[in-house]
Amino acid sequence: MNVSANGSDGGAEAPKLVSRPAPGANLIVKGVRVLDPRTGIDAVRDLVVRDGEIAEISEPGGAPEIERAEVVDGDGLLALPAFVDPHVHFRVPGQEHKEDLETGTRAAAAGGYCAVIAMANTAPPIDSAAVLGSVRDRAEREASIPVGFVANVTRGMAGQELTEMAELAEAGAIGFSDDGLPIANARVLRRALQYQRLAGGVIALHEEDPDLSARGVMHEGEVSAALGMAGVPAVSESTTIARNCSLALYEGARIHVQHLSARASVEEIARAKAAGVQVTCEASPHHLALTDEAVRSLDARFKMNPPLRTEDDRQALIEGLRDGTIDCVATDHAPHASEEKEVPFEEAAMGVTGLETAFAALYTDLVLPGVLPLELLIERMTSGGEPFGIEAPRLETGALANLALIDPELTWTVGEEGYESRSYNSCFGGRELTGRVLMTVAAGRVAFRQRSFALGVAS
Amino acid sequence: MKNLLGVEELTREEMERILERAQSFAEVGRRDIKKVPTLRGRTIVNLFYEASTRTLSSFELAAKRLSADVVSVKSAGSSVDKGESLKDTVATLSAYDPAAIVIRSPHAGAAGLVARWTEASVINAGDGKHEHPTQALLDVFTLRQRLESLAGTNIWIVGDVLHSRVARSCLLAFQKMGAKVTLCGPPTLIPRGIEALGCDVAYDLDRLGEADVVYALRMQLERMSESFVPSLREYASRYQIDSRRLGPRQLLMHPGPVNRGVELSPEVIDSPQSLMTAQVESGLVVRMAILYELLAGTDRARPERGPAPAGTPTIGQPA
C-alpha cells in the first residue's frame, strides 16, 4: 500500500489512509538536490510533478514547461521523500482544544510529513466502528495529509475485553493500540495476539509496567534523586518488552513497540529480533536529542511518558537507529493545552508536540555533528508506515508525489513564529535549529508552504 | 538576592550573610521589645498548600517581628479548594502588591513557577520532596551555635530520605558548609542515584559512632501501607535513635514533628544532646534574616503599568 488516500489501494476493505480531497499539484522544482536513499539518487535535478505524480526527474535545465505549474528555484535546497510518522495524537474526538485533524495535519505537513498514524486514546477512545467511522469522516473533510487511524485493542482502553477487532479492521483501522496505556494483563494481550490471525493489523504497544512505574513522573536516576521526584525505572519498559516479545513469538504474532527510551529496551528488541520475533519499534526525536538533565529545570515541557532518560540510554537509541534495531522515528506528537503544562512538573500532563521540529531537531543534533548520516535519518523518518503496511514514499518517476523541500542551512528559532499545531508544548521551544521544511507535497497535493517562501507561478 | 528557591542555588557567601543576620536578630530576640520596624508597610503572603505548624507560625511571627503585614492563605477553605490553578491564585494574590510570597506546595518546582508569575520575592517553604531551604538554613544556624564550624564534621541523616525535602536541602547545605554527609535508611527509602550528590550511603547504623551529628527524619506512617518497610516495629528496631545508639558527644537533630518511639526514643528527645528546641528558636531568627535579606533596602514600588515587555504572549499568539 502506497502513501495515498481514499481507496487507491483498490481492495474491498475501506482504505487505511484518509484525507481531504484536493487537486493534484503541478510543480517544477529547478536545480534541487534530490536525495532518496531508497532509489539511490543523490544529484542536482529538475523535479517535475504533474497532476500529483512525479513526472520527471531530469538533468537541470531539462524540465519541460507545464501550464500553470508552480516553479520553484531549488538552488541550495533538498528534495527528500516526505516523512511518515507512525505515532501522533490528534485528540479527535473529545479534546479538540488541544488539536484537531486540521491543525494536526497542518503541523505534520509543516514538519515535512506526508502521512501519519493517529492513536486511539481519545475521549471517547476509538474502540468501536462507529467512533472510527466518525473520525475518518472528519479526516475526509479536514485532513490536509493522509491519516491512518489505529483502533483500540481493548474496550475503553480498560485492558480487560478485546474490541471488535475484525469489524474495526474492515472499517479501516490501520492497526491496533491502547497507546497511552500498557496492556498490563498478559492474558488479555495474548488473546489479542491470537485474534490477530483473524483481524490482521499490527498491534502497537506502549510498554510499561504500571506497578514499576507507580507514581513516577520522570526517569529514575541521579536527577530524580536530586529533585526528589518519583522515578520511572528503565526496567518498567524493558521487562514489559521482554514479556511481550515472548508472547508474540509464542503466538506467531506481529507487534510494533512504541517509543523506546532505554538502553535495556534496545537490547531486548535486538535479542527478540535475533530470536525471530516479528517485532518492529520506534524512537522519538526527544529521546534521541535530550536527556533527563533537561528536567532539572522542572519545566513541564520536558515531561512525557516514557520519560527522558540518561545520556547512556540516548546513545543506545542512536546506535539502535543506526544499526536498524530501531526501525523508524516516531514523534509521539502529544499536544496539550497550556493550563495542563503551566503547573508544577508532577501535576503536568505527559507529552510533547513534535511534528514541526522532528527533522530539524535530529538534523541539528545528530546529522550536523556527524553522528548519523543524513541518508540514514531520511530512511528512518520515512519508514514509519511500514509496520502498518504503508510503503515508504520514493522519489522516482511515476510515483505519487510525496516530497519535502528543505532548506538545510536555514536556522530558525522554534516557536518564534508560533506553531501550526494548536498546542505549543514543544520541548524544543526557544531552541535554535538548523534545517527547515519549506514545502511539503503529500499524496500528490501541496499540503504546506512556508509562508515566507516566495514562489513563482509560470503563466 | 531576589528569591530563595532552594539551597542548590545558594552560594556559601549568601548563606553566611543570612546566618550573620540571623545572629544579630537572635540578639534582638533577647530584648524586651522584640520588634524592629524594617518591613513596616510591606505585605507578606504565606501561601500554604500543605498543613504546617512550625514553618507557617515561624514565618508569620518572623514577618510580624519585622513589622510587616501578613496574610496567610491555606488551601483548605480557599479558592484553591474550588479548583483555582496555582497560576491564577498567584495572580490574585500579586494584585495586593506583596513584597514576598512564601509558598509551601506538595509539588516540586512550585516555588520556581510562582517566581516566574509574580514580581514579589518568593521564598520556598517546601516544594514536594524537592527542597526546604529555610529548614536547612536554620539547621546550619543551630549547629553553628554549638560547633563554631561545620568544616570536617560528620553528619548522618537517618530515615526516610526518599520522601524528605529536608534531607535534600540539609545534605546540600551541610556540604556547602564543609561537612561530610552520610545518608542512612532502609534501601527502599534511599533514592537510587543519590550518591551522585557526593554523599555516602549506609543501610544500617553500624557505623553511626562516626557521626558528630545525627539528624533523624520523620518516618511517615503511611509509608507502611506502601510496603516501603514491613512494619514500624522492624523500622524502629533497625533505625530508631535511642540512648543505646546515641553516644554522649553526639548531637541530635530532627525537623519535627516527631513520631515518639518510632524514629526517636522518648529519652533521646529530652536528652541534653537534643537540639530540637534550639532548632525551633533558630527557625524564627533565620526566617527573619531571610525576609530581611530579600526585602530590606529593596523598596520596589510597583512599576507603572506600561506596555507589555517584548516577547510577552498576547491572546491568539502562542508564546
Whether residue B121 sits in one domain with residue B75: yes
Q: What is the pLDDT of residue A65?
A: 80
Strand, helix or coil at B93? helix
Residue B4 counted as domain residue: no
Name the average pLDDT for chain B.
90
Partner-chain contact A418 B110, CB within 8 Å: no
- Sequence-distant (6+) residues with CB within 8 A of A446 are A25, A27, A70, A439, A440
Comparing A286-290, B83-87, B265-269, B297-301, which segment has the lowest mean pLDDT? B297-301
Q: A82-394 maps to which CATH number?
A: 3.20.20.140
Whether residue B288 sits in one domain with residue B196: no
Whether residue B242 sits in one domain with residue B174: yes
Task: Give the Å distances, CA to CA, from A434 to A105, A286, A330, B200, B298.
Answer: 22, 16, 20, 44, 43
For the question of residue A332 being annotated catalytic, the response is yes
Residue B66 counted as domain residue: yes
Partner-chain contact A347 B107, CB within 8 Å: yes
Whether residue B148 sits in one domain with residue B111: no
- Sequence-distant (6+) residues with CB within 8 A of A64 are A48, A56
Cβ-count burial of B77 within 10 angstroms (0-12 exposed, 13-18 middle, 19+ buried)? exposed
Is 80 exceeded by the pLDDT of residue B285? yes
Residue B313 counted as domain residue: no
Q: Which residues of chain A have pLDDT under 50?
A: 7-11, 456-459
Chain B residues with CB inside 8 Å of A218's CB? none
Is 80 exceeded by the pLDDT of residue B224? no
Residue B302 counted as domain residue: no
- Interatomic CA distance for residues A444 and A51, integer angstroms: 7
- Interatomic CA distance for residues B24 and B267, integer angstroms: 33
Partner-chain contact A229 B108, CB within 8 Å: yes
Whether residue B106 sits in one domain with residue B23: yes
Partner-chain contact A415 B131, CB within 8 Å: no
For chain A, how big is the Rg over CA atoms in Å?
21
Whether residue B110 sits in one domain with residue B78: yes
Partner-chain contact B107 A345, CB within 8 Å: yes
- Interatomic CA distance for residues A158 and A183, integer angstroms: 8
Residue B315 counted as domain residue: no
Nearest CA in chain A to B313: A418
Of B86, B129, B318, the CB nearest to A418: B318
pLDDT tens-place string over residues B17-72: 999 999 999 988 888 888 899 999 999 999 999 988 889 999 999 999 999 999 99
Whether residue B52 sits in one domain with residue B96: yes
Cell of B145: 551555635
Whether residue B218 sits in one domain with residue B126: no
Beta-carbon contacts below 8 Å between A and B: 80
Q: Which domain holds residue B88?
A: 12-132+283-295
Least Cα distance to B112 among B10, B2, B5 occurs for B5
Chain A residues with CB inside 8 Å of B105's CB? 344
- Interatomic CA distance for residues A10 and A443, integer angstroms: 16
Cell of A167: 469489524
Give percent of chain B with pLDDT exceeding 90.
79
Residue B83 counted as domain residue: yes
Chain A residues with CB inside 8 Å of B168's CB? 226, 228
Domain count, chain B: 2
| Catalytic option among A127, A292, A313, A332 | A332
Chain A residues with CB inside 8 Å of B112's CB? 298
- Between A192 and B228, the more confident residue is A192
Whether residue B157 sits in one domain with residue B271: yes
Domain borders along chain A are 17-79+404-457, 82-394
Whether residue B93 sits in one domain with residue B173: no
pTM over 0.90: yes
What CATH homologous superfamily does A17-79+404-457 map to?
Urease, subunit C, domain 1 (2.30.40.10)
Least Cα distance to A241 among A215, A220, A263, A218 occurs for A263
Q: What is the interface pTM, i.e. ipTM, of the complex? A: 0.89
Is 60 exceeded by the pLDDT of residue B198? yes
Handedness of CA A121, A123, A128, A131 (dihedral sign): negative
Q: What is the pLDDT of residue B30?
A: 84
Nearest CA in chain A to B165: A228
Whether residue B174 sits in one domain with residue B120: no
Whether residue B273 sits in one domain with residue B138: yes
Partner-chain contact B109 A298, CB within 8 Å: yes
Instruction: Read off the DSSP letter of residue B277.
Output: H
- Interatomic CA distance for residues B57 and B49, integer angstroms: 14
Whether B113 contacts A346, CB under 8 Å: no
Residue B304 counted as domain residue: no
CATH of the domain at B145: 3.40.50.1370
Least Cα distance to A357 among A412, A276, A400 occurs for A412
Residue B109 counted as domain residue: yes
- Residue B254 banded pLDDT, cuts 50, 70, 90: very high
- Interatomic CA distance for residues B173 and B167, integer angstroms: 10
